[in-house]
Amino acid sequence: MKAILIILSLVFFTSVYAAGNLSSKDKKTTLGCAGLYYANSMIPQGTLDLDKIVHSIAAKKFLTSYLIKEGLKEDLVNSELNKSVDKFYGKPYDKKKTIQCDKFIYKLIPESKKEIDKLVKSGIY
């Protein structure tokens, strides 16, 4: 009986930790970056290189999935993305902010660069 309780406790605490290991600040910054990528993806192709648009689409898709896996509600993620898009939409591509987001995400999420690059190369975004 004790063994069962110990196993159940370990499973419970492990799953709780796995579903929420981002700090509030990291969640907010990640949502902001996803919104920036989303807004970048809407910049007309004639004014921004296609590779930057594709990278933005893939990064937004990756981050949206990641945040939902981290325990954020899909409605909250979508709502925050819309707020970010409202903030950035119609403004020119901000290379500095985009590079800052890339660096932040690559440092925060292991294998994120590889996964985003995989999405870019797959053509499925």
**78 domain residue, yes or no:** yes
**101 domain residue, yes or no:** yes
Q: What is the pTM of this model?
A: 0.79
Res 92 pLDDT > 70: yes
**9 domain residue, yes or no:** no
b (16+ CB within 10 A) / e for 64-91? bebbeebebeeeebeebbeebbeebeee
**82 domain residue, yes or no:** yes
> What percentage of the chain exceeds 90 in pLDDT?
70
**8 domain residue, yes or no:** no
**4 domain residue, yes or no:** no
**30 domain residue, yes or no:** yes
Res 5 pLDDT > 90: no
**39 domain residue, yes or no:** yes
Quote the domain boundaries for residue 105: 23-122
Whole-number pLDDT of residue 17: 38
Dump pLDDT digits (tens) for 60-89: 999 999 999 999 999 999 999 999 889 888
| pLDDT (average), residues 20-36 | 92
Domain count, the chain: 1
